[in-house]
Amino acid sequence: MDPFTLLTLLSAGTALVGGALSADATAREGAQNAAEIERSARQAEAARLTSMRQGELAVARRRLEVGQVRSAQAVGYAAAGVDASTGTPADVGAASERLGELDALQLKANAYREAFGFGEQARSLKMKAAQTRRNTDTNIFNALAQGGAGAVSALMPLAKKGA
């Protein structure tokens, strides 16, 4: 085999190997990036669940506090010899319960709002990971195509030589 043909074949082979190596590196990098994004999505989902649980605990705590206030009010009225089941004492107790329940509902709404934000973040990250995988597939194809095109370009002089 003459040196020109040998060098031409080596050049074509180098282009193919280069394309394959580039595709492999692209695949590894894309998989790593997608995995990192998916990890972040799992963390956001965990934060969503934690936010919901913390909200539920805050609501339960607030309702316990209201119960303690109502008990203290009842004890105070009883110590003063006042009937807490009628009139102003009953109205004060009912108002305490309503305000406490409003507080509890606000705590719950805040927790749900925060959880919603984390859920949206997780959803967005999952979509980003999927897009990263699609982009990686495209980049792998492009790297292989460039390697093939480089090989064809390297072989063109042989084709012209034989023609």
Q: What residue numbers bound the domain in which 92 lies?
A: 3-162
Total domain count, the chain: 1
DSSP 88-111: HHHHHHHHHHHHHHHHHHHHHHHH
pLDDT in tens, the chain (163 residues): 788 888 899 999 999 999 999 999 999 999 999 999 999 999 999 999 999 999 999 999 999 999 999 999 999 999 999 999 899 999 999 999 999 999 999 999 999 999 999 999 999 999 999 999 999 999 999 999 999 999 999 989 888 876 5
pTM, whole model, 2 decimals? Answer: 0.75
Q: What is the DSSP letter of 155?
A: H
Burial class (CB in 10 A: 0-12, 13-18, 19+), 161: exposed
CA distance linking residue 36 with residue 88, whole number of Å: 61
Which residue, 151, 55, 158, 146, is CA-closest to 103? Answer: 55
